[in-house]
């Protein structure tokens, strides 16, 4: 540390590349009323890990080359410095939207394929989760769109 300078923190968040392997599944364990528990399978791909590590190397180089100080990484993907929740991301896409039932759970109107009258609106229907921004406004827009659709269907 340079005399007279206090350490500063930089936080970098990133979303992951969509992967069919990242999903919500039913676990073997049961809850207190006998229903199967949900289990989140979520892993960083090698490509995502490489991308994050490359970004860290570039940032560290620029900070040090600019004479701004020394960069110390405080988190790793494995070992004692691994984040408790496997990263900073929004698990989305558990009931993915797609016209083809083989590729998604709901159609473009949010209707569950093969089920009459069951609609879903939320970040679970997102086809992917690119971007770091909080998904709340998109969820609200999707919900309003579904409400308008239901008004027209039920009128």
Phi first, then psi, for residue 41 (nearest 5°) are -95, 115
Band of pLDDT at residue 2, cut at 50, 70 and 90: low
Q: What is the pLDDT of residue 23?
A: 76
Question: pTM of the predicted model, to two decimals?
Answer: 0.60
Q: Do residues 49 and 82 make contact, with C-beta atoms less than 8 angstroms apart? A: no
Give the pLDDT confidence of 51-79 residue by residue, as tens digits. Answer: 888 988 999 999 999 988 888 877 777 77
Q: Do residues 130 and 92 make contact, with C-beta atoms less than 8 angstroms apart? A: no
Q: What is the pLDDT of residue 49?
A: 85
More confident residue, 43 or 129: 43
Q: What is the DSSP string of 22-58?
A: SEEEEEEEE-TTSPEEEEEE----HHHHHHHHHHHHH
């Amino acid at each position: 540390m340079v005399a007279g300078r206090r350490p500063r923190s930089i936080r970098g968040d990133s979303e992951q590349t969509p992967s069919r392997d990242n999903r919500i599944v039913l676990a073997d364990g049961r809850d207190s009323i006998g229903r199967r528990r949900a289990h989140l399978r979520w892993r960083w791909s090698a490509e995502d890990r490489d991308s994050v590590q490359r970004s860290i190397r570039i940032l560290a180089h620029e900070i040090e080359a600019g004479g701004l100080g020394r960069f110390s990484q405080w988190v790793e993907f494995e070992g004692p410095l691994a984040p408790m929740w496997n990263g900073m991301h929004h698990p989305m896409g558990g009931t993915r939207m797609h016209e083809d039932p083989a590729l998604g759970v709901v159609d473009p109107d949010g209707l569950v394929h093969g089920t009459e009258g069951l609609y879903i609106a939320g970040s679970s229907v997102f086809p992917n989760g690119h971007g770091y921004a909080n998904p709340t406004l998109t969820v609200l827009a999707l919900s309003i769109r579904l409400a308008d659709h239901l008004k027209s269907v039920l009128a």
